[in-house]
Amino acid sequence: QVQLVESGGGVVQPGRSLRLSCAASGFSFSSYGMHWVRQAPGKGLEWVAVISNDAHSEYYADSVKGRFTISRDNSKKTVDLQMNSLRTEDTAVYYCTKDLLRDFWSGASDYWGQGTLVTVSS
């Protein structure tokens, strides 16, 4: 079955960096776009970034553009989110998600990881 397991969350000071990782299994990883979606404590969902199945394309929310970088390694079946210049408003649970559509991406997510909490605080 499809499994997505995030890691790398923790407490970090404003301005510092953190790298999240997501390990995927149970599906043809190299055929699907992958997303990161976040949820601030007690708040709604916010889409963060997407990377195409072949890693040739990536898009970001305006709130993280220029600070966050999504990447993937199809040989290891992992997708990462490098987060630089972190702000207090980046505090959230970060979910790794699998896109619904094969060989491209739609924007909808049919599988979600359990999430990893990032807390940005001094």
Q: Return residues touching another protein (CB under 8 A).
A: 35, 44-47, 50, 59, 61-62, 95, 100, 106-115
Indicate the residue among 114 and 121 with the shorter CB distance to another protein: 114
CA 117, CA 122: separation in Å to the nearest integer? 16
Name which of 83 and 96 has its Cβ closer to another protein: 96
How many whole angstroms separate alpha carbon 81 and alpha carbon 113? 14
Closest CB to another protein among residues 2, 55: 2
Residue 98 and residue 25 in contact, taking contact as beta carbons nearer than 8 Å: no
Tokens of 82: 């490098």
What minimum distance in Å lies between the beta carbon of 122 and another protein? Answer: 27
